[in-house]
Chain A
Amino acid sequence: MGNDELKSISNLHAEEPNRVVDSQSTVNALNSAYRIPYFTILWTFARNSLVRDLSFRTNFILEAISSLAWTLMNLAFFKIIFLNASSIGRGTGWGEYEFYIFLGTVWIINSIVQTVFMPNAQEFSELIRTGHLDFALLKPINTQFLISFPKFNWSSLVNAFAGIVLVNYSLIRLSSLAERPLELSIWSVPIYILFLCCGIGILYSIILSMASLSVWFGRNQNIYLVYFYLTQFYRYPSEIYQRGVWGYGLWAVFSFAIPILLVANVPARFLARPLRPEWTSSEFYMIGFTLIATVASLFASRWVFNRSLLSYRSASS
């Protein structure tokens, strides 16, 4: 350093004699006019994660292959079920291809959650434990955004493509039925995507709330486990729960308290129309309630998140 460094300091002066004033006025201008480019930042996160993932190429490929293999075994399992039964639940309308739409929807949702929200929730929990959340809190940007998206686990996205393929294939099969063929309108896809987003929003809220609890627990490695247990329940049509005391109990809890039954049921129902051609009133209630539940979940998780920041202690360095 030494001389070189002094030289570069004097260069600084030569180029910008009014630096202090200059930087101050820039800052002031920024305060009023600057709009944070959230999409650019999201893109940077996504891109940086991909660059990182690809720098460990073999690991990336193995992860993608193993999760795809698991997904295909999942499909094989239900194929076997449908060799034994014609529908999931008596009189529910969830025949083989209707159910594959449901299954594909679950894959898409799970895949997006595991690509974006699960790694970030685990990371957030870890940031709290190690005190590295400090840096997120220092940045002039919405903290919830900053902890929700920095890490993309791209290899998990392969299942979303598998899900899209399965849904499309099933739609084609259902549309070409001789009896009760499925008819899609131009609105089917956008509404399907809307409810898919609602479902992801609900899961994101649950994951974010669980990760936020790390502030009080000090350590919380159960996020993935609890998520895994919960998702066991949302993988099936809600009708199958509506039998007996246990069934109704689970149905009520997972519809109203922790609304995971809405996550895949609503978008899949919209596309697969198991009870076509007519809509039942309970289906309408379910759709309306999903919108409310999504907004409520997002607000509730935001509240928990903000409360957790208030109690954040920042592990000592």
Chain B
Amino acid sequence: MRTMPIIDIKKLSKTYRVYQKKEGLLASLRGLVHRQYRTIHAVSEIDLTVEQGEFVAFLGPNGAGKTTTLKMLSGVINPSSGQCTVMGFVPWKRENAFRRRMALVMGQKNQLWWDLPAQESFRLHQHIYGIEKGRFEQTKSELADMLTVTELMGQPVRELSLGERMKMELIAALLHSPSVLFLDEPTIGLDVVAQHNIQNFLRHYQQDRKITIILTSHYMKDIAALCRRVVIIAGGTIHYDGSLRGIIDRFGSEKIITLTLAKTESLAGLEKVGREVSIEIPKIKFRLPKDEVAKTLAQVFSTKHVEDIVVEDPPLEEVIARVFFEAEQSMNGGNSSAAGNPLEISRR
């Protein structure tokens, strides 16, 4: 039997009308009377399905539509058109039965009472979500234990570090054991250790509870550590949907090759073997288009004595930056339809 996907998005769009403010006082005064507006397509007709228990990453440049999509999925804003169900509910109807089973955590916005200890906010959540007392105490201490913040729960939130505050935000969001969790840049601004702690926690928690999580992040480390499925959103449309590895296979058009030559060999003749040649005798490093690797290396082997060879993919960040760049180029070209996009859309 095929089960219904837990998140089902069909042709979901969100457009905003924004006031075009011109520079200068005179223009501002004119703006009081006559305003020019511009329509922004934050999200255009995206389709996506997510199965129960998946951990999906939304990846994309700033302003790509990731957060807007999460906000529509959690029911915070209404879409301009299109449909979507999460656990069978239409999110923006904001039924209590839906809201009791999901949570949204935002790295840039906090929901805890600023001047009070986090545990006061937790208690409020207990009443709002109707968490039975014994269960509440147990969940709270388990989560605090896992995130190692048990001692900090009595301290006013304003006195906590950014990392500690984020952990408290996570506890607040997970107290009611949501089935679907949306995370919008949960590690933003955190140091490496704090990022790592939160990644670890999220990985274990997700594996343990089998809940569905969608995460947006700018840190590739977050995504590499947590998500097997990556959705690249740029310019409001989906440009890729698949594994992290698949991004390199699909969009990484080059390989990076490092050769270590025998001591007796000269480097003569290798100056133009590929792009971006760098030499540190006896090593030489360069880039080649994927389909030329075998041919070029065969040539080198036939003329030079090579002691060692390393063939690598370019760094993921670089590949993704290129995907973003090309996606935006195609958007700015005025043709936003999928057919006109040089990057073909892939679906699992």
Given known A-B contacts A20-B209, A138-B76, A314 and B71 have beta carbons under 8 A apart: yes
Name A112-166 residues within 8 Å CB distance of B: 130-132, 134-135, 137-141, 143
Cross-chain pair count, CB within 8 angstroms: 123
Given known A-B contacts A23-B209, A27-B179, A132-B111, A5 and B146 have beta carbons under 8 A apart: yes
Which secondary structure dominates chain A's binding surface? Answer: helix
| CB–CB B115/A52 < 8 A | yes
- Whether a CB of chain A sits under 8 angstroms from the CB of B177 is yes
| CB–CB B124/A135 < 8 A | no
- Whether a CB of chain A sits under 8 angstroms from the CB of B90 is no
Contact of A135 among B101, B111, B148 (CB under 8 A): B111
Write the B90-113 contact mask toward A (1 if CB under 8 angstroms, else 0).
Answer: 000010111111111011110101
Contact of A139 among B71, B116, B128, B132 (CB under 8 A): B128
Q: A residues within 8 A CB of B11?
A: none
- Whether a CB of chain A sits under 8 angstroms from the CB of B22 is no
Of the four ranges (under 10, 10 to 19, 20 to 34, 35 or more), the interface on chain B belongs to 35 or more
> A274 to B200, alpha carbons, bound, how many Å?
73
| CB–CB B177/A140 < 8 A | no
Given known A-B contacts A37-B127, A44-B127, A317-B184, A20 and B113 have beta carbons under 8 A apart: no
| CB–CB B200/A12 < 8 A | no
Query: B106: nearest residue on chain A (CB-CB)?
Result: A317
Query: A24: nearest residue on chain B (CB-CB)?
Result: B179
- Whether a CB of chain B sits under 8 angstroms from the CB of A245 is no
> A143 to B93, alpha carbons, bound, how many Å?
12
> A4 to B120, alpha carbons, bound, how many Å?
26
> A38 to B11, alpha carbons, bound, how many Å?
38
| CB–CB B100/A48 < 8 A | no
| CB–CB A12/B123 < 8 A | no
Write the B68-84 contact mask toward A (1 if CB under 8 angstroms, else 0).
Answer: 00010011111000000
Q: How far is the CB of A56 from chain B (nearest CB, A)?
A: 8
| CB–CB B128/A134 < 8 A | no
Contact of B103 among A41, A137, A138, A314 (CB under 8 A): A138
Query: B108: nearest residue on chain A (CB-CB)?
Result: A317
Of the four ranges (under 10, 10 to 19, 20 to 34, 35 or more), the interface on chain A belongs to 35 or more
Q: A residues within 8 A CB of B127?
A: 36-37, 40-41, 44
| CB–CB B100/A131 < 8 A | no
- Whether a CB of chain B sits under 8 angstroms from the CB of A13 is yes
| CB–CB A1/B197 < 8 A | yes
Query: A218: nearest residue on chain B (CB-CB)?
Result: B19
| CB–CB B116/A9 < 8 A | no
| CB–CB B76/A137 < 8 A | yes
Name A41-75 residues within 8 Å CB distance of B: 41, 44-45, 48, 51-52, 55-56
Q: How far is the CB of A284 from chain B (nearest CB, A)?
A: 43
Query: A137: nearest residue on chain B (CB-CB)?
Result: B76
Given known A-B contacts A1-B197, A27-B101, A317-B108, A36 and B208 have beta carbons under 8 A apart: no
Q: A residues within 8 A CB of B179?
A: 24, 27
Q: B residues within 8 A CB of A31?
A: 96-97, 100
> A19 to B138, alpha carbons, bound, how many Å?
13
Jot down 11 A-B pairs with beta carbons below 8 A, ordered by A. Answer: A2-B200, A19-B208, A34-B100, A40-B127, A44-B123, A51-B120, A134-B109, A140-B100, A141-B128, A314-B77, A316-B67
